[in-house]
Structure 1
Amino acid sequence: MTASILHWSLDELSKNRGVAIATVISTTGSVPGKEGAKLALNNHGIVGTVGGAGLELKVISQLREMLENAIKPCGKVVTFGLNKGAKGYEVTPLDSLCGGHVTVAMEILMPMPHILLMGGGHCAKAIAEACGPLNWSFSVQDSRAEFATIEGAKESHHSCPKDFLMAENTDSLARFSDILLLGHDWKEDEERLLGLLFAGYSGRLGVIGSKSKWKTFSEVALDAGITQERLDRVNCPIGLEIGAESPEEIAIAVIAEIIAGFKGINL
């Protein structure tokens, strides 16, 4: 059971979906859940059990609340008293006749970043290289065959922006935590931007370039029917303002910015 729960959790994390896990870590008296029992869930499913009945309902409720509010990995330990009159500083009473106590560890697992580099030039290669020590995943899309493959990429897409986007939808794009528009041709980046916004991509979206470039892109997007609220969620220019100039420096600035987002830090 434990192996299947962990396998399911890892599969969900690979799809850029957070997971909440509960584990029974200690018990006393007569209780439904045994030590080591696990339950995992997210908005796409639930597997395992911590004992069923009122205990499980309470655990599921707390896990869902934690997952809904989580902006970074977190956890807590809760002791449940399985009788109506359970008391104690750290005991949560349950309307149960089982008796005994169950201590449950609850934790939120957040997926590691998976960055889609749309444009496989110098900056993309530097960002890809920086992903290695962090154990982050990256994928590449480029209309030029020689730039559509970077060593270590999880996915490589040699296609024009239109063809790539036509093969995707809101759900499939959700596998990417971040999408960075790094194209050699501003027209391609503009096409990517509009396509992603109309597709409803909900992850972090960033565009390399100047403020004047973003002003032009914004005007085109607004004319096309994109709302200002949606545009305000796009980050341009990308990267922390550290005076970065070379591709390697830009990569450091971009990676640092993504780390802040992953850790739930507002810059």
Structure 2
Amino acid sequence: MIWHDALHRLQNAGTPHALATVVGAAGSTPREPGAKMVITADEVHDTLGGGTFEFQVIDAARQALAGHDTTTRLEAFPLGGRSGQCCGGYVHVLIEIFAGAEMTVAVFGAGHVGQALVQLLAPLPWRVLWHDSRPESFPSDAAGQVRLECRDSSDSAASVTALPPGSHALVMTHDHAEDRVLVDALLKRGDCASIGLIGSQSKWASFQRPLREAGHTQASLSQVRCPIGIAGAQGKRPYEIALAVSAELLTLKPSGERPDQRGIEPRVLRKVFDADRSPNSKLENRK
């Protein structure tokens, strides 16, 4: 697949990936500046010329993806030295890391509030995993939306087990017993970013005794937000509740970047610019 087709598909799907671009070349090199390649954890699209050099770029990108390191990096590849290739040129590669969806939200329930909520979340760069034990409850057009996956949650425990770590879970099914089973399973996982339960304080009070009997401590139970929605929001219509829940999710969203440092680290750029200004560098570029 050509790199731009892969980039479009991966960004729409919210899949973590890296874009590697040749931004500078001197001497004999496999590809010209502007050549690009897209890399995921298990796929490579297009090429920077092959050989050891390309494998090193792929390895650097995958290490960053595995470590959730979204820092943009500028890598230098002396092909005769670092890469051991006989062409002997010199390549600078810009590696941009895209972490994929900013956050994953698991919505359990395709009732009125669930449907209104998913409509509000659809334009955001978030991955939404929409569960219901009644698959016929999903609207017919839901399957075609990007970053939205509709899943049958007839087996509540299996549905919770399949969630990615760090998911924000919202429990709002049509059945209180199903809600309680889901909250129990989510608490047992212990790695959810947040857990929200639709309903009143009295509903949550009725859940706590059986959850304690299931082995959950008060500290564990305190992770559950019930009622859900941003504080001070009024209104009981499904869309009003969905608006309040969406706003609350925005308060839970990670910042994603340091405001004082974006892109390539300044020390890296200084090193590159200083090398370009040095007499030896100019001489090397003439060869």
Q: Aligned equivalents of 1:235 and 1:139: distance in 2?
A: 19
Going from structure 1 to structure 2, the CA distance change for 1:132 and 1:168 (only over 3 Å counts) comes to closer
Going from structure 1 to structure 2, the CA distance change for 1:232 and 1:58 (only over 3 Å counts) comes to farther
Q: Which stretch has the larger CA shift, 229-238 or 24-33? A: 229-238
Deviation at 1:78, TM superposition (A): 0.8
In the TM superposition, what are the counterparts of 1:114-263 in structure 2 within 5 Å?
Answer: 115-134=105-124, 137=128, 139-142=130-133, 148-150=137-139, 152-154=141-143, 163-165=154-156, 168=159, 170-171=161-162, 173-174=163-164, 177-198=167-188, 202=192, 204-226=194-216, 231=221, 233-246=223-236, 247-263=238-254
Going from structure 1 to structure 2, the CA distance change for 1:234 and 1:133 (only over 3 Å counts) comes to same
Query: 2:78 aligned to 79, 82, 87, which one?
Result: 82
Q: Indicate conservation of the 8 Å contact 2:108/2:170, yes or no.
A: yes
User: What amino acid does structure 1 have at the position aligned with 2:64?
Assistant: E
In the TM superposition, what are the counterparts of 1:36-47 in structure 2 within 5 Å?
Answer: 36-42=35-41, 45-47=42-44
- The structure with the largest alpha-carbon Rg is 2
Q: Aligned equivalents of 2:20 and 2:217: distance in 1?
A: 44
Tell me which stretches of 4 or more aligned residues in structure 1 moved more than 6 Å.
none
Deviation at 1:47, TM superposition (A): 2.3
1:143-171 Cα offsets, whole Å, 9 max, x none, are 596xx2335433666x7x6x332664633
Counterpart in 1 of 2:56?
A: 57
Going from structure 1 to structure 2, the CA distance change for 1:205 and 1:33 (only over 3 Å counts) comes to farther
User: What amino acid does structure 1 have at the position aligned with 2:172?
Assistant: L
Deviation at 1:220, TM superposition (A): 2.7
Q: Aligned equivalents of 1:182 and 1:228: distance in 2?
A: 22
Deviation at 1:190, TM superposition (A): 0.4
Deviation at 1:6, TM superposition (A): 1.4
Unaligned runs of 5+ in 1: 86-93
Going from structure 1 to structure 2, the CA distance change for 1:111 and 1:37 (only over 3 Å counts) comes to same
- Say which SS state the counterpart of residue 95 (structure 2) adopts: strand
User: What amino acid does structure 2 have at the position aligned with 1:6?
Assistant: A
Q: Aligned equivalents of 2:214 and 2:61: distance in 1?
A: 42
Deviation at 1:127, TM superposition (A): 1.2
- Say which SS state the counterpart of residue 237 (structure 1) adopts: coil
Deviation at 1:199, TM superposition (A): 6.3
Deviation at 1:124, TM superposition (A): 2.0
Going from structure 1 to structure 2, the CA distance change for 1:39 and 1:119 (only over 3 Å counts) comes to closer
User: What amino acid does structure 2 have at the position aligned with 1:31?
Assistant: T
Q: Indicate conservation of the 8 Å contact 1:75/1:107, yes or no.
A: yes
Between the two proteins, the alignment pairs up a number of residues equal to 243
Counterpart in 2 of 1:6?
A: 6
Query: 1:27 aligned to 13, 24, 36, which one?
Result: 24
Deviation at 1:104, TM superposition (A): 1.5
Unaligned runs of 5+ in 2: 144-148, 257-287
Going from structure 1 to structure 2, the CA distance change for 1:59 and 1:233 (only over 3 Å counts) comes to farther
In the TM superposition, what are the counterparts of 1:101-116 in structure 2 within 5 Å?
Answer: 101-111=91-101, 115-116=105-106
Q: Aligned equivalents of 2:208 and 2:91: distance in 1?
A: 58
Deviation at 1:189, TM superposition (A): 0.9
Q: Aligned equivalents of 1:124 and 1:206: distance in 2?
A: 13
- What TM-score do the two structures reach when normalised by structure 2? 0.62
Q: Indicate conservation of the 8 Å contact 1:140/1:153, yes or no.
A: no
